[in-house]
Each structure stands twice: as structure tokens, then as C-alpha cells.
Structure 1
Amino acid sequence: MARVGRRVDELLRRLRPGDIAVLDRIDLDLRTAEALVAAGVVAVVNAAPSISGRFPSLGPETLIGAGIPLVDGVGTACLRTIRDGSQLRVHQNVLYQGETEVAVGFEQNAETIADQLVAAKAGMSAQLEAFSADTIEFLRTERTLLLDGFGVPELYVSMRDRHVLVVTPGWGRVRELRRLRRYVREFRPVLIGVDTGANALLEARLRPDVVVGDPGSVHADTLRAAREVVVPAGLDGHAPGLSRIQELGIGAVTFPASANPEDLALLLADAHGASLVVTVGFQAGLREFLDRERAESNPSTFLTRLKVGNRLVDSQAVLALHRGRMSVGMVALLLVGALAVIGVAVACSGVGAVYAEHAVTVWTTVVTWFAELSRGLIS
């Protein structure tokens, strides 16, 4: 079934598994592509070119990697020709309603995308210059927030000297959170969900401590489960999302700033004294900065990450470190096994004090070795 929309945010809310998304998005960004994959669409039709050549946009690569066909550049007329909710068929680069051909585009594949991304790197110079100018302007506007924490709301949830796990929206967040269960059990971090990232926390059976973002994108059950809700507001203090909070009858605080919700979550953790901030889904390399859907959010992301500094760690690093560690339970199991072996040896020896004394010596050696092992692997 075709789902047609010029406003991508509104279109994403209407998508269901098996739909064909028809949109108009020049330079298809990574976050939109991840949302399309998560929605379970079977094909994507873009009226605009998904890679215009201004910079290497990452969305097309994500769709093709997930096995979702992408037909590009069909023209804006298709948004009027294709009826929302109609049966649409995509064959190679041609769109059909029934047996009627309604649009023709260009079907992307891994090879065509790779070629276009190489060519698009030439457009990065102009984007970098614009990014530098926007960063300076943002610093002028939000310098008191970045330097002094002015405007950061007080929270009941304590983050002082604790780990904080921040989960952003995106495809595959629930799977990644399940892989982090061992870390969560051991360190008991404060759990912050950003927009639909809060839904991912609850889906992974983790209760969010704080939800940051537009309440309209967060499930009612998630908002009710959260210990605190922080609603972004403009510099004028206006917060459109408060109406939903009032409908649900729950409390919330506002955070007046021009930064995006992801960055506000990091600033909250920083201002409230978190010892370590682990991020799930944050992608902020050079390509991601230039690929962002909202270019105006890039300076806040760049400066916020500088502000948090070396306390900021990606979840992939946490997973890599935990793979090589031995858990307390494993050490305890080995210790019990060693005790059982010694007990059997003594019981079966049939000899008195000599073997008993030898067993005690061996036991003392084993206990000392395991104590040293546990200090080295668990501390």
C-alpha cells in the first residue's frame, strides 16, 4: 500500500509494515532511512535525488543495506498522481497502479550509491565552511548554557558520580540495549531516553529514568513509566509538547534552548555531575555532521560533545570491553568447582592427616589465586 507525504515526520507516523513510502527528501539522511527501516517498508520512492552531490548522504546506503529497494528522482508530480492508500507496485525503476504506469525514476543499488558518494565528497568543502559559520553563531547564542549550565533544569533523579546511558531514536536500538544488559545490571546507570529512544528502553524492559524530547513522539506508557520528563522549549520558553503532558496528567519540566533533544540529554548529564555518559545511537563523525536532516542542529552537537569531553563513550566501546571480562558469577562458579574437587580428593584418599594437611594447603593456594584473579578481572 502506498503512503504518500511531503512532510516526512508526519509520513513516518503513518507507515505500517509492508507499505511503500513515497516522499520528497533531497539528500536522504541517515535518521530518516533508519526510521523507514524500522517501520518495515518494502520499498521507498523519492521524488527528489537521495544523493544530490552536495555531500555524502548516508540514508540510501542504509536502505540498500537493509534490502529495501530505492527508486530515486521520480519527480514531484508523483506526489499528486499517486493516491495515498492505493495499491502501488514497483518493478525495477517503474511505478504502477494496477497496470497503469504512473512514474519512472532511477533504481539505486550498492554500486550506483558508492559511485555517487565518491562524487559527492567534492561538495563537502562548502558544507564545512557553512558548518563553521553556524558553530560560531550558535556559540554566541548559547554560550551561557555551554559554559555555565545556565537554564539546565533541576531533576529529582540523581546523576552525581553515576554512569548515565543515553538512548537516541533509530533502528536497532532495542537489539543494542539487550546486548548492554550485563553492563546495565552491573553499573545501574541512569537511563535517559531521547524521543522514541525512550520507547526502545521500555521495549527492552528497562524503565527510563528521564525522557527528553517531544512527548508527541513518545508512547503514553513510556511517559507514565518515566521518573521525570524534560520537554525542550524554544529560547522564548514556548514548549508545544506540554499539551500532551497535560492530557496524560503527568509532571514535566521544560528546558529552554535551541539545541536538539539529543544534545540536551548530554547537557543534563554533564550539568548534574555524571561520571560517565554512554551513548546508544549517537553518530557524530564528519559525514554524520554533514548528513544531518537539520543542518542547524550540527553546531550544538559539535559543541556539546566538546563540553562533555572524555566522559563521553559510545556503547560499542562498552560492549567491546565487557566481552573480555569475567563476571563475578563465573568466578564464584569456578571457586565452588575447585572446592568440590578438593573435597572429593580428600574423601577418596582414605588417608588421614597427611592428605588433610595437603588439602588445606591446596585450598589456601586456590583461594588466594581466585582472589587475585577477581581483583584483576572485576575491579
Structure 2
Amino acid sequence: MDNNVASQGYGPVYFHNRTKQLVRWIPEGAYALIEHKDIDEMAALALIDKNVKGVLNYAPSMSGDYPSLGTIRLIEHGVPVYDIDDPQRVKQVLRQGHTIHIDGRQLWLKEPQGPSFLSSLTRYTDRDILLKLKLAQANLKDRLQKFVENTLTYALQELPEILQPVPIPKLKLNMRDRHVVVVTRGSGYMEDLMAIKDYIAEVQPVLIGVDGGADAILECGLKPHLIFGDMDSISHTALCSGAEIVVHAYKTGQAPGLNVVHRLGISAHIFPCFGTSEDAAHLLADEAGARLIVSVGSHTHMLDFLEKGRQGMASTLLVRMKLGGKLVDAKGIHHLCLRKPHSRISSPLSVSDACLEHHTH
């Protein structure tokens, strides 16, 4: 990684407090301004795909609370990451599309009368990454205990719901006695999906895309049969692909995602269900009579859920216990393949990955 603090030049800046919304429309080559504590890996990969010039963050990009991967991935790909030292001033001044100039560790606004200083910056370097990882390692035991306690507390509260039959909408799609592949945009999802393409070609399973997982299915040259989720991170192309659509709703029946599909003139079913959208998609497939459910890109452990901003995994634990052997997890299966998998990350094992490997063993 190049940790030179030389001038980064000029460029337009665009902001959204939800990174996954920003990456849907930010122009390539612009600076991304976010408010995203502990940038997660999926957000980082999306920013990398948009070829952003740099990432500016109102929040700590890597706090050291746990070993988050986003900042590491960005720097590995040559995208500089900065925390803004005076966020309040910058929020008052900067507007969408303003031209900024990063000079060393200083943020300037380009104006007709001359540059205006906005804030000093904290730029992440190799040394910063190692210090944050050491801090995360020291915090890991405490985070794990709180995570498990939170998971068990909510699991007890949600247990009555998982014990009852889940009423599902009347679908045109028939899943009875069929294999179903549920694709979620989690760590390594694209590599794992590519690794099971031969299985998909041979068995012809039902393909369910959970939000952006539908885009992943399309990127692989396949077509989703059903799209499930709250529709907050899916492209219009995927929504208009002809797949049957089920919007994940709150237990009250409220479904904000309906607004997204209705604006496109598309009809959709509603499925009120507790838990994450991937959990609800697994339950839907089970209740629809699927013989086998293959989960791709699912969130399965503490670091996965902390990256999603969740402090526990109660619903996931309960769903996996209910489905038992019917649910096959393909997470990480590409590591078992002899052929070279499709990958968005081509860098070799870095010191940061080695540290993370130590955390999980």
C-alpha cells in the first residue's frame, strides 16, 4: 500500500449517510463522503467497483471495536481512506458535487475566490491498520460475550414465532420438492456462486436473490426466479428481470420496500416475518416445500453480523436450528475448488488477513 501523504488532487464529492445508497449513483472517479462507522467489506467492494478517487468519513472508518474489513480492502485496492477531524464544519459547508482538494492531510473546498480550508484529516496507513487490529483483538473477548448474550436473549423472545407455521403468500413459482439456492450479498458471495455454477446447470434449482443477491445472479449469466427482501440495495435492472417479487415486511405488515417496486409499476407479494431478509427467505423456501436449500453469501458468525451493524444473530440461529439438514451452507465453498475462482479481490494474503485469521481460530 502506498501511504504517501502527497497531494491527492481535485475532484467532485458526493455524500449519503447510507453507503449502499451512495454507490448506486455516485459518478466514477469522484470522492465518496460517507458517515459509516467501521466500513464493512461489502460497502468497500461496492466503492471499489465505482472506482472512487478516495473515501472521506464523518465516522471512524475503523474503530478497533472489532476487526472490520472495509478500510483494509479499500487501501489494498489503492483507495485512500480519511476520517474527517471536524465533521460539523464540513457538514455545514459541503454540498453534492462540490469540488474538493485533498492536500496531504488537509481538506480544502475549491471556490471562485480561492481555496477554503475545511478540516484536517486522519489518513489510514499500514501502521494505523495494525494498531486497530491489535485493539480489536483486545476487545474481541468482550464483544463475543456481549454478542452471545444478546443472541440468546432475543432467541428466547423469538422462539414462539419460529415454532409456529409461517403463512406464506400464494406464489406462482413452485418450489415443492425442488432444490432452492438463496443468494445473499455477504462476504465471498460471488466467488461461492461461481463455484456452484456446475451444480446449478445440472440440477436447475430455483434461484432466489435476496436484495442485491439478485444482481449477483444476473452477473453470473443466470436469471433469478424470485427476488426477496426490503428492496434497498437492488438495481432496477434486477427488479425488471421478470422474477416474482416478495417484499419482506415487518410483523405489523408494514413494507417500505413496496414503494420501490410500485414506482416501477411492478406487482409484489408481502411476507411479514421476523429476522433478517436472508432468514425470512430461507423460511419462505422451507414453507413452500423445498427439498434442499443451498445458502450462498449468508451471514453466519459474529464478524458477519457486526459488519451488518447487528449485535446478535438470534433469528439466524433459530432458522438454522429449525431447517436442520435441509439447509446447506455454501459459504466459503470456493476455497475447496481447484479451479481459480472469480474474485473481486486479487491481492495476496496481507498482514491484515493474517491477523483476522488469527482472530477466528
Question: Is TM-score (shorter-chain normalized) higher than 0.5?
Answer: yes
Residue 62 of structure 2 is matched in structure 1 by 51
What percentage of aligned pairs have identical amino acids? 34
Larger CA deviation: 190-199 vs 305-314: 305-314
Distance 1:94 1:170, change over 3 A: farther
Larger CA deviation: 302-311 vs 193-202: 302-311
Distance 1:35 1:141, change over 3 A: farther
Distance 1:49 1:227, change over 3 A: closer
Shift in Å at residue 237 of structure 1? 0.7
Structure number with the higher helix fraction is 1
Structure with higher Rg: it is 1
Residue 246 of structure 1 is matched in structure 2 by 262
Shift in Å at residue 192 of structure 1? 0.8
Shift in Å at residue 102 of structure 1? 2.3
Give me the whole-angstrom Cα distance separating, in 2, the residues matched to 1:57 and 1:318. 22
Cα RMSD, aligned residues only: 3.0
Distance 1:186 1:134, change over 3 A: same
Distance 1:147 1:306, change over 3 A: same
Shift in Å at residue 239 of structure 1? 0.9
Structure 2 counterpart of 1:196, one-letter code = G
Give me the whole-angstrom Cα distance separating, in 1, the residues matched to 2:19 and 2:259. 22
Give me the whole-angstrom Cα distance separating, in 2, the residues matched to 1:203 and 1:21. 24
Shift in Å at residue 170 of structure 1? 6.0
Give me the whole-angstrom Cα distance separating, in 1, the residues matched to 2:103 and 2:330. 40
Structure 1 counterpart of 2:91, one-letter code = L
Unaligned runs of 5+ in 2: 1-11, 341-361
Matched, 1:303 2:318: yes
Give me the whole-angstrom Cα distance separating, in 2, the residues matched to 1:131 and 1:124. 10
Residue 108 of structure 2 is matched in structure 1 by 96
Structure 1 counterpart of 2:282, one-letter code = L
Structure 1 counterpart of 2:318, one-letter code = L
Shift in Å at residue 171 of structure 1? 8.4
Q: Map of 1:235-314 to 2, 5 A cutoff?
A: 235-295=251-311, 298-310=313-325, 311-314=327-330
1:76-128 CA-to-partner distances (Å, cap 9, x unmatched) read 22233333201223344332334444222221133421221121222234433
Distance 1:151 1:290, change over 3 A: same
Contact 2:249 2:270 in 1 (8 A): yes
Distance 1:62 1:148, change over 3 A: farther
What is the TM-score when the length of structure 1 is the normalising length?
0.74
Larger CA deviation: 66-75 vs 190-199: 66-75
Give me the whole-angstrom Cα distance separating, in 2, the residues matched to 1:48 and 1:217. 22
Shift in Å at residue 253 of structure 1? 1.7
Distance 1:265 1:96, change over 3 A: same
Larger CA deviation: 166-175 vs 128-137: 166-175
Unaligned runs of 5+ in 1: 325-379
Distance 1:128 1:244, change over 3 A: same
Give me the whole-angstrom Cα distance separating, in 1, the residues matched to 2:53 and 2:248. 34
1:317-366 CA-to-partner distances (Å, cap 9, x unmatched) read 26735859xxxxxxxxxxxxxxxxxxxxxxxxxxxxxxxxxxxxxxxxxx
Matched, 1:186 2:186: no
Contact 2:226 2:244 in 1 (8 A): yes
